């Protein structure tokens, strides 16, 4: 019987070794599966973070575009106001220049008229002095 036990123990040893080998393989497979699951979780979390960053980037871009449109509208309004202000200032300067020209024209016209009146008056005086002897003459000679 001892022989049979020795034979069975020899037979059991390879089975034991195989079962231990299978257990080690299972343990390695479990550890590999755990590592794989951890890697997949990390990958998913990174993917979600990237998608969140993409959404925030898209929101940022739309925000920038929206702000740029608002600033463009404000710039157009400013340009219109600046144009109107410049036109008003130009009109004022034109008016002041026109007023200066008009004043100069009236002054010159008044001086000319005054000079003409003085000449005419002098001419009349000369004519009166010449024609004192002829009372019927009604024409003025210069």
**Sequential pLDDT tens for the chain (142 residues):** 555 555 555 555 666 788 898 999 999 999 999 999 999 999 999 999 999 989 988 888 888 888 888 888 888 888 888 887 777 776 666 666 666 777 777 788 788 777 777 777 777 777 766 666 655 555 555 5
- For residue 5, what pLDDT is reported? 53
Q: Domain boundaries in the chain?
A: 2-97
Q: Classify each residue of 59-97 as buried b or exposed e, where b means 16 or more C-beta atoms within 10 Å of its C-beta.
A: eeeeeeeeeeeeeeeeeeeeeeeeeeeeeeeeeeeeeee
- For residue 15, what pLDDT is reported? 67
The DSSP 8-state label assigned to residue 133 in this structure reads: G
Contacts of 90 (CB under 8 A, 6+ apart): none
- For residue 24, what pLDDT is reported? 92
Q: How far is CA 127 from the centre of its chain?
A: 81
- For residue 125, what pLDDT is reported? 72
- For residue 48, what pLDDT is reported? 93
Contacts of 130 (CB under 8 A, 6+ apart): 141
- For residue 42, what pLDDT is reported? 93
- For residue 83, what pLDDT is reported? 80
Cα dihedral sign for 74, 75, 79, 80?
negative
Q: How far is CA 134 from the centre of its chain?
A: 90
């Amino acid at each position: 019987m001892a022989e049979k036990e020795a034979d069975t123990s020899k037979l059991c040893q390879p089975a034991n070794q195989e079962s231990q080998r299978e257990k080690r393989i299972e343990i390695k497979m479990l550890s590999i599966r755990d590592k794989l699951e951890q890697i997949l979780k990390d990958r998913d979390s990174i993917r979600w973070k990237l998608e969140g960053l993409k959404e925030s980037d898209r929101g940022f871009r739309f925000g920038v575009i929206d702000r740029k449109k608002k600033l463009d509208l404000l710039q157009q309004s400013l340009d219109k106001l600046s144009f109107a202000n410049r036109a008003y200032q130009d009109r004022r300067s034109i008016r002041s220049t026109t007023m200066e020209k008009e004043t100069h024209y009236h002054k010159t016209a008044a001086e000319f008229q005054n000079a003409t009146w003085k000449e005419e008056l002098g001419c009349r005086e000369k004519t009166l002095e010449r024609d004192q002897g002829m009372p019927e003459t009604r024409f003025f000679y210069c």
